[in-house]
Amino acid sequence: MEKFDKAFPSKPLTWPRGKQWALAGVVGSGNLEVLFERNPKISDQMDCHVESSIPGYKNSWLAALGDFASNYPVGGTKVTIHDQGADPIVVTFRLRQAYDHLLKKTP
C-alpha cells in the first residue's frame, strides 16, 4: 500500500446546508472510493489523504488531484481516497462525481 498526504490550493467551497460529507465510488478492482468532508480550518485548500494498493503512480495522482483542485472550488474540504488500482480516468471521474453528489442530489 502506498499512502501519502498533500494539500492543494483551491477556491473555497460553499458547503450546502445540512451536508457534512459526500461519497463516490466503491473499493473494488480498478476502482476507488472518495470521501469529501468539511475542513473549516483551511478554507483555501483541498487537503488530500490517499491510500492506494498499487504503488508507483504518485506523479499521476498529484497531477489529477492538482487539476481537480484548480478546476473546481473545493477549498475547505478534506478528501480521503481508498484506491484499488483506479486509472487516472476513473480518479478524475470519481472526484467529479463526489463533487456533484455534494452539490446536488444523487447519492
Q: Can you give the binding site for another protein, defined by CB under 8 A? A: 1, 20-21, 23, 25-29, 31, 33, 35, 37, 51-53, 59-60, 63-64, 82-85, 87-90, 92-93, 96-97, 100, 104, 106-107
Considering the complex, what minimum distance in angstroms separates the CB of residue 30 from another protein?
A: 9
Considering the complex, what minimum distance in angstroms separates the CB of residue 83 from another protein?
A: 7
Considering the complex, what minimum distance in angstroms separates the CB of residue 70 from another protein?
A: 9
CB atoms inside a 10 Å sphere around CB 106? 8
Is the Cβ of residue 1 or residue 41 nearer to another protein in the bound state?
1
The full DSSP string for 9-76 is: E-PBP-PPTT--EEEEE-SSTT-EEEEEEE-GGGTTEEEEEEEESS-S-HHHHHHHHHHHHHHS--BT
Is the Cβ of residue 11 or residue 96 nearer to another protein in the bound state?
96
